[in-house]
C-alpha cells in the first residue's frame, strides 16, 4: 500500500515508539500515579519524563502544565469547556475542525457564551485586524487552528497571540496538523492553551492527546473521578495535572510519545525537507492534470486537496484504493465550514497527506493514477 492519509494518522510508527509501547504493555503494565509499588512508580516516572519532553518540545511554561487525554478532540474539549465563562464571548473562524466548532456551537446553543465566527479571506487567512475588530468587552478566548486540515493554510498565530496578550484574552491553538511539521513555541507565540495528538506528525500512538497551558489559564475539569491523589476529597481536585487526568492513563500511548518526540528530533532535518519537496511536486503536478483542481496551498504539513471535475471525492479515493492500492481521504474531513467556504460541500475533496516516510516514486505513482482516473471520468 502507498499510504497517503497521514493527516488522519501517520501509518509509520518508529521502532522506538513500538518497543516502548510494547514494553509498557508487557513487562511494565502498571497504573501510573496510582499504586506505590515499584512497577507503578516506574511507569509514573516515565509519564513524568514525557511531560518534561513535551514541555521542552513546545516551550511550555512548566511540565506540570502538560495534561494527557484521550486524543486531540478531548484535549480541545478540556481547553474550551474547562475555561467557560458564562455570558462571555469567544472568537473562532470558519476554518475550524468540528472538534472546535461543535463544542463552541453547543455552548452557544445553550446560551452560555456569545460566539463570533470570522470568515477567512480568499487565501484562507485570518488577519490580526479581523481578530482585533471582533474583540468585545466580554471576550475571553480566541480559538484557532494553526494549520487547516483541508487546505493546509497556516495562520499567523504569533502576531495574533501578541495582539491578545495585553487584553489577557486566552489564546487556544489547535496544533493537530502542525505539531511535528512546524515549530511551536508557546511563550514566543503567546499561546495560552495548545492542544495536539500523539498520532499524527510526531508518529506516536493513537489514543493519546495533549493539552499544554500557561499560568494564565486555570483549567476546570470536564470529567470527574479518580485521580490517584487527594482521595479523601469528595470533590474534583483542581491541581494540575492530576486533577484533569481522570481515570487510568493510556500509559503505553503517553510513555511512547516521549520516544516519538526523541525520534522526531533525530529525523526532522531529513524528513521535513522531504515532505516539503513532495508536497510541492504533487501540488504542482495535479494542478496540471486536465479536469483537476487543487484547493490546498503550498504548506509544510504535506497536505494536498483536490477534485476531479464532476466526480465525487469518495469515488476518487475508492478508485485509488481499489485499482492502485493508494490510501487517501475523501469527503468533508470533519470541516464542513471550510468546505462551505470553498464551495466543495456537495462532492467533498480528495486529500493526500504525506509524511517523511513517503518517497518521490510513490508520488509519481499517485500522479499517474490520478491522471488515468481523470481521463476516464465523463
CB atoms within 10 A of CB 67: 26
- Predicted confidence band at 6 (pLDDT cuts at 50, 70, 90)? very high
Residue 335 lies in domain: 2-8+268-376
| 233/193 same-domain check | yes
Nearest alpha-carbon partner for 223 in 67, 87, 88: 67
Does residue 282 have a pLDDT over 90? yes
The string over 289-328, giving b where at least 16 C-beta atoms fall within 10 Å of a residue's C-beta and e elsewhere, is: beebebbbbebbbbbbbbbbeebbbeebbebbeeebebbb
pLDDT of 222 over the 90 cut: no
Domain boundary among 209, 228, 262: 262
Q: Does residue 274 sit in the same domain as residue 249? A: no
Model pTM score: 0.96
Q: Write the CATH number for 365.
A: 3.90.1150.10
Residues 105, 246: one domain?
Answer: yes
Give the per-residue pLDDT at 202: 98
| 222 and 332 belong to one structural domain | no
Average pLDDT over residues 258-266: 98
Q: Do 244 and 325 fall into the same domain?
A: no
pLDDT tens track for 312-365: 999 999 999 999 999 999 999 999 999 999 999 999 999 999 999 999 999 999
| CATH for 179 | 3.40.640.10
- Same domain, residue pair 106 and 35: yes
- In this structure, what are the phi and psi dihedrals at residue 306, rounded to the nearest 5 degrees? -150, 170
Query: Residue 81, Cα to own-chain centre: how many angstroms?
Result: 18
Claim to verify: residue 165 and residue 25 sit in the same structural domain: yes
Residues 190 and 137 in one domain: yes
Same-domain check for residues 130 and 223: yes
pLDDT at 225 over 90: no
Q: With DSSP H G I counted as helix, E B as strand and the rest as coil, what are the percentages for the chain, rounded to 5?
A: 40, 15, 45
Joined grid coordinates for residue 301: 504539513
**Spacing of C-alpha 177 from chain mean position:** 5
- End residue of a domain, out of 222, 237, 262: 262
Percent of the chain with pLDDT over 70: 99
pLDDT attached to residue 39:
76
Do the Cβ atoms of 208 and 254 come closer than 8 Å? yes
Residue 157 has pLDDT above 90, yes or no: yes
| Residue burial 119-138, b: 16+ Cβ < 10 Å; e: rest | ebeeebbbeeebbeebbeee
Instruction: Flag whether pLDDT at 248 surpasses 90.
Output: no
Number of domains in the chain: 2
167, 283: one domain: no
pLDDT in tens, 84-94: 999 999 999 99
Question: 9-18, 114-123, 236-245, 303-312: which range is least confident on average?
Answer: 236-245
Residue 175 near residue 169 (C-beta atoms within 8 A): no
Cβ neighbours for 2, distance < 8 A, ≥ 6 positions apart: 324, 325, 326, 327, 358, 362, 365, 366
Mean of all residue pLDDT scores within the chain: 95
| pLDDT surpassing 80 at residue 230 | no
Amino acid at each position: 500500500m502507498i499510504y497517503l492519509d497521514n493527516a488522519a494518522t501517520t501509518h509509520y510508527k518508529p521502532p522506538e515508539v513500538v518497543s516502548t509501547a510494547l514494553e509498557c504493555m508487557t513487562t511494565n503494565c502498571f497504573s501510573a500515579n496510582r499504586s506505590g509499588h515499584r512497577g507503578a512508580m516506574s511507569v509514573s516516572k516515565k509519564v513524568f519524563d514525557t511531560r518534561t519532553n513535551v514541555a521542552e518540545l513546545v516551550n511550555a511554561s512548566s511540565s506540570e502544565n502538560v495534561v494527557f487525554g484521550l486524543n486531540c478532540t478531548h484535549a480541545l474539549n478540556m481547553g474550551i469547556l474547562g475555561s467557560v465563562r458564562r455570558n462571555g464571548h469567544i472568537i473562532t473562524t470558519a476554518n475550524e475542525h468540528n472538534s472546535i466548532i461543535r463544542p463552541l456551537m453547543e455552548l452557544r446553543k445553550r446560551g452560555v457564551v456569545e460566539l463570533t465566527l470570522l470568515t477567512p479571506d480568499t487565501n484562507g487567512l485570518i488577519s490580526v485586524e479581523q481578530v482585533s475588530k471582533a474583540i468585545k468587552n466580554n471576550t475571553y478566548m480566541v480559538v484557532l487552528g494553526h494549520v487547516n486540515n483541508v487546505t493546509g493554510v497556516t495562520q499567523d498565530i504569533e502576531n495574533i497571540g501578541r495582539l491578545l496578550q495585553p487584553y489577557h484574552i486566552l489564546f487556544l491553538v489547535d496544533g493537530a496538523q502542525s505539531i511535528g511539521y512546524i515549530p511551536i513555541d508557546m511563550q514566543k507565540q503567546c499561546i495560552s492553551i495548545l492542544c495536539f495528538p500523539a498520532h499524527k506528525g510526531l508518529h506516536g500512538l493513537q489514543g493519546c492527546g495533549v493539552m499544554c497551558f500557561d499560568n494564565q489559564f486555570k483549567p476546570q475539569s470536564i470529567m470527574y473521578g479518580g485521580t490517584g491523589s487527594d482521595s479523601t476529597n469528595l470533590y474534583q481536585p483542581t491541581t494540575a495535572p492530576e486533577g484533569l487526568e481522570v481515570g487510568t492513563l493510556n500509559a503505553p500511548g503517553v510513555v511512547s510519545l516521549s520516544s516519538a518526540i526523541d525520534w522526531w528530533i533525530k529525523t526532522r532535518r531529513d524528513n521535513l525537507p522531504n515532505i516539503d519537496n513532495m508536497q510541492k511536486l504533487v501540488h504542482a503536478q495535479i494542478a496540471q492534470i486536465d479536469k483537476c483542481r487543487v484547493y490546498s496551498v503550498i504548506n509544510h504539513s504535506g497536505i494536498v486537496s483536490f477534485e476531479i471535475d464532476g466526480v465525487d471525492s469518495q469515488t476518487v479515493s475508492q478508485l485509488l484504493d481499489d485499482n492502485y492500492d493508494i490510501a487517501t481521504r475523501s469527503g468533508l474531513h470533519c470541516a464542513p465550514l471550510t468546505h462551505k467556504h470553498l464551495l466543495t460541500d456537495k462532492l467533498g475533496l480528495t486529500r493526500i497527506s504525506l509524511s517523511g516516510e513517503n518517497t518521490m516514486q510513490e508520488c509519481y505513482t499517485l500522479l499517474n493514477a490520478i491522471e488515468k482516473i481523470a481521463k476516464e471520468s465523463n
